[in-house]
């Protein structure tokens, strides 16, 4: 499979190249040159397969030319061997129409493990045998940082530098990052907010000498391989619930539009998806875009679902590109307009093409009601992000179509918010039970480019 940039001006790369590059050199995002399609019989055959085998069948067309099926199977077996549930992403039935797809059984308790455990192994494989070092840098408001650190700790030829805003991630989230003491893991607490941390990372990628000297790599969802790994669980869940003979709807708590875009790809590959519900919190740029065609940046409101507190959803560009006739120059122009004015309108063609999506905006009261409903009616404790998905699912009015809400985080990860909404304090699962007894290590730095690049230069192993 070949990959091209949404902005049309970067080199076409194979799977290995696109995975190591992260962002395309023209500022766009890599997408496959075409969507592979699974036949109805191939989809029906998935119903009898376990998660790893489903993953191999779904991802093989995307990795073709870089990884054969045997290599892909070995990577998936290793990545998903660390999950605490043998089904990897089990379904839990809530009532006659609603299911939860539990994506939080990985090592760091959020769905990001599903993709990052695999990505970590792929990075290591792609770099093995050579003398190339990859320096992964990222900014996190919580879940991506811990998942990426867990996935990359101790891996050969890779250093990871993760920036988080000092004092602004939860204790559980911080400790999941800072108690990983592997020598290739470097946590940096930036004296600023998440936007400051994110801006520093962008500035480093946009400094060509620095980016080349340290071979910078990305682990956020601009990396195609992450989205690819997330397509799998849409197939896995839908085939367990009767696909391809019946269509399933999914409700997705959405921030950067990565997870729900993976559902869109599953639909392009032939999976019968009745509807994709894009559930946002009050930071509702995606709801406004899909409901009214108005993609304009508002002011950020911090909520109890911080992983969805976004201003700009990077992966939305992939959808605009695909719906706009896959015209790189047109996407580049549309994005340039957006970057200049912080606003854009979807074209009539893009709006018509987005008919698969339904969107909703869930406020703090609706979220708390959903947490209580799941507990009182179904005996399930859910986290604030999942609750936003479930609230949107319950009021989407989809008749009797089965609706699967993606449960994106374990409730213990956000136990203060869950307790405030429901009075119940979720316990930490046994696998991280000693988190508060572990030693922490991190550097505290001012939010300046010089401070951060000096630190990286002093600690990274990559050399020209
Ligand atoms: C990252 C995250 C989301 C948002 O996913 P996107 O792919 O960015 O849309 C939702 N819930 C949780 C718990 C997350 O960690």
Ligand 1 midpoint to CA 383 (Å): 12
Q: Identify the active-site residue in 7, 57, 105, 112.
A: 112
- Contact between 29 and 318 under an 8 Å Cβ cutoff? The reply is yes
DSSP state of 23: B
Question: What's the pLDDT score for residue 310?
Answer: 84
Judge if the beta carbon of residue 113 lies within 6 A of ligand 1.
Answer: no
Question: What's the pLDDT score for residue 59?
Answer: 98
For a mutational test of ligand 1's pocket, the pick from 110, 114, 319, i.e. the residue with the most ligand atoms closer than 8 A to its C-beta, is: 110
Judge if the beta carbon of residue 313 lies within 6 A of ligand 1.
Answer: no
Partners of 158 in the beta sheet? Answer: 134
Question: What's the pLDDT score for residue 131?
Answer: 76
Judge if the beta carbon of residue 408 lies within 6 A of ligand 1.
Answer: yes
Ligand 1 midpoint to CA 308 (Å): 6
Look up residue 67 and give its two tokens: 């990884």
Residue 112 is a catalytic residue: yes
Smallest CA-to-CA distance from 30 within 258, 224, 257, 225 is with 224
Separation of CA 44 from chain center: 27
Please state the atom number of ligand 1 nearest to the C-alpha of residue 253: 10
Distance, first Cα to last Cα, the chain = 30
For a mutational test of ligand 1's pocket, the pick from 29, 231, 315, 408, i.e. the residue with the most ligand atoms closer than 8 A to its C-beta, is: 408
- Contact between 396 and 251 under an 8 Å Cβ cutoff? The reply is yes
> Which phi and psi (to 5°) does residue 427 adopt?
-80, 150
Largest Cα separation within the chain, whole Å, is 60
Please state the atom number of ligand 1 nearest to the C-alpha of residue 386: 11
Ligand 1 midpoint to CA 307 (Å): 5
Partners of 191 in the beta sheet? Answer: 446
For a mutational test of ligand 1's pocket, the pick from 177, 254, 280, i.e. the residue with the most ligand atoms closer than 8 A to its C-beta, is: 254
Ligand 1 midpoint to CA 258 (Å): 8
Q: Is 142 left (phi over 0), alpha (psi -120 to 50) or beta?
A: left
What's the pTM value of the predicted model, to 2 decimals? 0.96
Look up residue 283 and give its two tokens: 């930071």
| Secondary structure string (H, E, C) spanning 45-73 | HHCCCCHHHHHHHHHHHHHCCCCCHHHHH
Ligand 1 midpoint to CA 384 (Å): 11
User: Would you write out the chain's pLDDT as a tens digit for each of its 464 residues?
Assistant: 999 999 999 999 999 999 998 888 898 999 999 999 999 999 999 999 999 999 999 999 999 999 999 999 999 999 999 999 999 999 999 999 999 999 999 999 999 999 999 999 999 999 987 778 899 999 998 789 999 999 999 998 999 999 999 988 888 899 999 999 999 999 999 999 888 898 899 889 888 899 889 999 988 888 999 999 999 999 999 999 999 999 999 999 999 999 999 999 999 999 999 999 999 999 999 999 999 999 999 888 889 998 898 888 889 999 999 999 999 999 999 999 999 999 999 999 999 999 999 999 999 999 999 999 999 999 999 999 999 999 999 999 999 999 999 999 999 999 999 999 889 999 999 888 899 999 999 999 999 999 999 999 999 987 75
- Contact between 275 and 302 under an 8 Å Cβ cutoff? The reply is no
Question: What's the pLDDT score for residue 372?
Answer: 96
Ligand 1 midpoint to CA 300 (Å): 16
Which residue's alpha carbon is at the smallest distance from atom 8 of ligand 1? 256
Question: What's the pLDDT score for residue 444?
Answer: 98
> Which phi and psi (to 5°) does residue 189 adopt?
-90, 115
Question: What's the pLDDT score for residue 452?
Answer: 97
Judge if the beta carbon of residue 280 lies within 6 A of ligand 1.
Answer: no
Judge if the beta carbon of residue 261 lies within 6 A of ligand 1.
Answer: no
């Amino acid at each position: 499979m070949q990959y091209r940039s949404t902005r049309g001006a970067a080199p076409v790369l194979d799977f290995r190249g696109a995975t190591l590059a992260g962002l395309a050199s023209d500022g766009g995002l890599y997408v496959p040159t075409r969507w592979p399609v699974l036949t109805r019989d191939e989809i029906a055959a998935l119903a009898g397969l376990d998660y790893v085998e489903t993953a191999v069948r779904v991802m093989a067309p995307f990795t073709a030319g870089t990884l054969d099926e045997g290599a892909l199977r070995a990577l998936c077996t290793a990545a998903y061997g660390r999950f605490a549930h043998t089904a990897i992403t089990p379904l839990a039935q809530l009532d006659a129409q609603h299911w939860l797809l539990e994506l939080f059984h990985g090592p760091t308790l959020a769905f990001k493990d599903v993709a990052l455990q695999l990505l970590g192994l792929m990075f290591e494989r792609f770099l093995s045998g050579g003398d190339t070092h990859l320096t992964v840098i990222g900014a996190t408001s919580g879940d991506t940082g811990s998942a990426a650190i867990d996935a990359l700790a101790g891996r050969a030829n890779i250093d990871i530098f993760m920036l988080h805003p000092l004092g602004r991630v939860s204790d559980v989230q911080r400790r999941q990052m800072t108690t990983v003491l592997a020598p290739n893991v470097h946590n940096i607490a930036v004296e600023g907010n998440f936007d400051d941390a994110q801006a520093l990372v962008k500035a480093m990628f946009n400094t060509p000498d620095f980016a080349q000297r340290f071979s910078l790599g990305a682990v956020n969802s601009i990396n195609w391989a992450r989205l690819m790994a997330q397509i799998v669980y849409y197939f896995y869940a839908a085939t367990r619930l009767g696909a391809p003979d019946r269509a399933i709807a999914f409700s997705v708590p959405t921030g950067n539009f990565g997870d729900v875009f993976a559902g869109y790809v599953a639909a392009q590959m032939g999976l019968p998806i009745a509807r994709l519900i894009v559930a946002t919190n009050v930071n509702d740029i995606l709801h406004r875009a899909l409901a009214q065609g108005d993609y304009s940046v508002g002011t950020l409101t911090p909520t109890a679902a911080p992983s969805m507190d976004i201003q700009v959803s990077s992966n939305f560009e992939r959808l605009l590109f695909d719906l706009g006739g896959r015209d790189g120059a047109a996407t580049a122009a549309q994005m340039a307009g957006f970057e200049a004015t912080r606003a854009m309108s979807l074209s009539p063609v893009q709006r018509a093409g987005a008919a698969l999506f339904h969107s909703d905006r869930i406020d703090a009261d609706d979220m708390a009601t959903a947490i209580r409903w799941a507990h009182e009616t179904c005996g399930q404790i859910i986290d604030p992000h999942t609750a936003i998905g479930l609230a949107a699912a319950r009021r989407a009015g989809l008749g009797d179509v089965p609706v699967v809400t993606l449960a994106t985080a374990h409730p213990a990860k956000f136990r203060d918010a869950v307790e405030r909404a429901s009075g119940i304090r979720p316990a930490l699962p046994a696998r991280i039970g000693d988190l508060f007894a572990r030693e922490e290590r991190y550097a505290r730095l001012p939010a300046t480019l010089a401070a951060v690049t000096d630190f990286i230069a002093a600690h990274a192993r990559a050399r020209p």
